[in-house]
Amino acid sequence: MTLYRFEHPDTERGPYSTTLYESPERDALDEAHRLLSAVRTDDVAGSPVDPHPTPYQEDLYTFSYSHNCGFSSLEQLAAWFAEDVRECLARAGFELAVFEAPVDAVEVGVRQVVFLHDEVSRIGSLNPVSLANMESAAN
């Protein structure tokens, strides 16, 4: 199974990690967090819905802090991280890592997946900004 995940190459941590980064990386990461927290959608009843649920909100109960979050498709990734957020993450030094994982090592949710980093193999990286570039690189 192919997985996609934003992570910093120096730490292998994702953008939600509490790891501190030096400026200007910290400024770009703070901007990404601001953009992510401002995004809300409405459900069919018109109630606000957070499009970035925690793993527990998606019933991914095997999740622990030793797990990583990622995506099972580029579409899933693009629904979570809009292009302006991907631009901020790229400026903050994050890469869009591509992994291969055994299916039984991944728990799949509607909006994300969780997995243990030591159970997957990194097979490359993609341009994190342009969805068109990501789609062409994935095909």
Q: pLDDT tens-digit profile of 40-87?
A: 666 566 666 677 888 888 888 787 888 899 999 999 999 999 999 999
| Cβ atoms 52, 81 nearer than 8 A | no
Three-class secondary structure of residue 104 per DSSP: helix
d(CA 43, CA 118): 37
Closest CA to 98 of 77, 67, 82: 77
pLDDT over 90 for what percent of the chain?
45
- What residues contact residue 82 under an 8 Å CB cut-off, 6+ apart? 35, 39
pLDDT in tens, 78-118: 999 999 999 999 999 999 999 999 999 999 999 999 999 99
Let me know: does 8 contact 68? Beta carbons within 8 Å: no
Q: Is 68 helix (H, G, I), strand (E, B) or coil?
A: strand
Burial class from Cβ neighbours inside 10 Å (0-12, 13-18, 19+) for residue 127 reads middle
